Structure 1
Amino acid sequence: MAGKRESRRPNRLAADRGVDIIGDVHACWDEFCQLLARLGYEQSKADGLYRHPAGRMLLSLGDITSRGPHSIKMLQFFIAHVRAGLAEMTDSNHGWKIARWLDGRQVTLRHGDEKVAAEFAAYERRCGTASLRKLQEESRWLLKTAPSHILLTIQSTPAAVAVHAGIRDEYIGKDSAVVQNFCRYGDVAGIAADGRPIRRDWTEAKQSPLTIVWGHDPRPQPERKRGAINIDQGCVFGGMLTAYRFPEDELVSVPARKNYSGEADNPLTR
C-alpha cells in the first residue's frame, strides 16, 4: 500500500443545521457513546448509524485511536459515518502516525499507538485475514484523507475553524505540508530532555475573528483564549470527553470511567 495517494476530503463544512465538535476520544468508546446520547443522537435500527433529529453533524478533532481500549470501534464508527455524510474528522498527530503505519511506512508505534497494532492483531485472529485487510484499507483511507483543518460555514460564510492542534491565521483555508504539520502538532519549539514536545502558545498571534476549536493539548477544563477554545479534557487520562456545539457556543462533557492510559504521570496530573 505504500505510496498510494488520494485527495484529501473537503475542508469546508456547512454548519447551518448545527455541528457537534468532539475533542480527543483516544479510543474511549463507552464515553463516546454516552456523549452521543447526551447530544441527542439516535441509532437507527435500519442501518445502525447515529443521526440527530435536527440534522446536526458530528465533527471529530482527530486522535480517535491510541492509548485507550477501543480504537477499532472508533475507526469503524467514523468510516461508516463519514461515508454516509453524517460525520467528518480532521487530521491529527496520532491519526497521521497510524495512517502511515497502515500505508506500510516504517514508523515506530509508541505513546499508545502500539495498542492499535495489538487490536488489529487480535482482530485478525478473531475475524480472519480477509476482514483484516478490508479494515486496514478503510482505516487508512479515513485517516490519510482527513483534511488538516475544517472551515465551518453559516450561509456559505466562514464562521469557525476546527483543527486538531492549532493553526496560524495565514494557514486558514490553505493546504500544504507546512500547514498540515502545524495543524497536527501545533507550534513546537523543540523536544525537552524527557522527550516531551516544547509547545509555544500559538493563540498569542491569533488575529482572525473566526472561532477556532482545537484539542491535542489536554486541559482539565475547556479553555477559552483569544477566540480559541480547547476541548481536549484528557478523557483517556481519566478526565472528560467534551463536545462543543456550534453555532450555539455550548459545551457538553461526560466524565471518563477511568484512566485508561495507565499513566499516573500524565497531562492532567502534571
Structure 2
Amino acid sequence: MTAYDIIGDVHGCYDELIKLIDMLGYKLKDDVYTHPSGRKLVFLGDITDRGPDSVGVIELVYKNVKSGNALYIPGNHCNKLYRYFLNHKVKIIHGLETTVAEINELNETTRQIIIAHFTELYESAPLYLILDNRKLVVAHAGIREDYIGYYGNKVKQFVLYGDITGEKNLDGTPVRLDWAKRYKGSSFVVYGHTPVKEPRFTNKTVNIDTGCVFGGYLTALRYPEIKIVNVKSAMPYDESRFKDIDNNTMFI
C-alpha cells in the first residue's frame, strides 16, 4: 500500500512548503522530491494566491505531479486562476491579485511557461481523490458521503466551496453548513479550504488548512498513520482570518 503525505492549503507559501517537505523526509533530485519509503505527496488545492511565491509553488507541484511522485486536486482558488488564464471574466480579488502581479512581473517566455504548466496541471487533475480502496478520500473543501464516486456540477461546487447555502455573512463571506458534523461515511476524508487554528478532527474527517498564509501553520497529514506534521508560518498572524465554522462562517 502506498503511504501519503497530504499537504493543506499552501497559498503561495513556498518557503514553508520546502521546510515541511524536508521535515517529512523527502529528498530533492532534479527538481523532484522522492521519499526513501516510497511515500507520495498529495496537494489538496489552493496552492496559489495571497502568499509571496505562488509561481514557485506552481512549478514545484507541477514538476512533482508530472514525475508521478505527487498527486494534486484543485481548490476554488485554483479554479479561479485557471479561468483567469482562459481569459474568462473573473474578479481579481480575494488573493488572485497577488498571483496575477507575480505572473505579470515575469518575462513573456517565462510567463507563458508558467501559464502552460498550471493549465496542464489543472486540466489533468481529478476533482477529488479516492485512494487506498476507498478508505481515503481527499477533497479540497470536503465531500458528502453520498457524493463519493460521483461527479457533476453539484459535486464540483461542494468539493470546491463546501456546503454553501447561497447566503452571505455580514462580512461578505458565504454562509456554509458544517457538513463534517453530519458526515457518517466509512471513508476517511481529508480536506482544507476553511482556516482553522489546529487540525479539526470531526467524525471520519479532518480539516488540515491551518492558515499558513494568515500566520498559522502549514500542515501535513501522514496516512495511514494519521499523524500531523506542521511548520510555523513566517507570515504575520491575522486572528480575523480564522473563522468560527461552528457559527456557519467561512473565508473564501
TM-score scaled by structure 1?
0.86
**Residues 29-75 of structure 1, C-alpha deviations (whole Å, 9 max, x = no match):** 1110000011000111xx22111111110001100000100000000
Deviation (angstroms), 1:258? 2.1
CA distance in 2, matches of 1:204, 1:26: 26
Counterparts of 1:227-246 in structure 2, within 5 Å, are 227-246=204-223
Q: Which range moves more in the overlay, 188-197 or 88-97?
A: 188-197
Question: Does 1:160 pair with 2:143?
Answer: no
Residue of structure 2 equivalent to 1:120 = 103
AA aligned to 2:217 is: M
AA aligned to 2:12 is: A
Indicate which of 57, 62, 65 corresponds to 1:79: 62
Indicate which of 175, 183, 195 corresponds to 1:218: 195
The SS at the match of 2:49 is coil
Indicate which of 19, 23, 27 corresponds to 1:38: 23
Deviation (angstroms), 1:265? 3.2
The SS at the match of 1:212 is strand
CA RMSD of aligned residues (A): 1.6
Question: Does 1:181 pair with 2:166?
Answer: no
Gaps of 5+ in 2: none
Counterparts of 1:65-144 in structure 2, within 5 Å, are 65-124=48-107, 129-144=108-123
CA distance in 1, matches of 2:83, 2:137: 25
AA aligned to 1:181 is: Q
The SS at the match of 1:138 is helix
CA distance in 1, matches of 2:233, 2:2: 29
CA distance in 2, matches of 1:93, 1:80: 21
CA distance in 2, matches of 1:222, 1:264: 16
The SS at the match of 2:184 is coil
CA distance in 2, matches of 1:137, 1:254: 30
The SS at the match of 2:50 is coil
Deviation (angstroms), 1:268? 6.2
Indicate which of 231, 237, 240 corresponds to 1:265: 240
Residue of structure 2 equivalent to 1:28 = 13
**Residues 237-266 of structure 1, C-alpha deviations (whole Å, 9 max, x = no match):** 000010000011111011111228xx6632
**Residues 125-181 of structure 1, C-alpha deviations (whole Å, 9 max, x = no match):** xxxx2332122121112124322210111xxx2211111101111111222122111
CA distance in 2, matches of 1:255, 1:75: 21
The SS at the match of 1:158 is coil
Counterparts of 1:201-216 in structure 2, within 5 Å, are 201-216=178-193
Gaps of 5+ in 1: 1-15
Asked if the contact 2:31/2:60 (under 8 Å) is kept, the reply is no
**Residues 200-239 of structure 1, C-alpha deviations (whole Å, 9 max, x = no match):** 0012331211111010011101111011011010000000
Residue of structure 2 equivalent to 1:145 = 124
TM-score scaled by structure 2?
0.92
- What is the aligned residue count? 244
Asked if the contact 1:191/1:197 (under 8 Å) is kept, the reply is yes
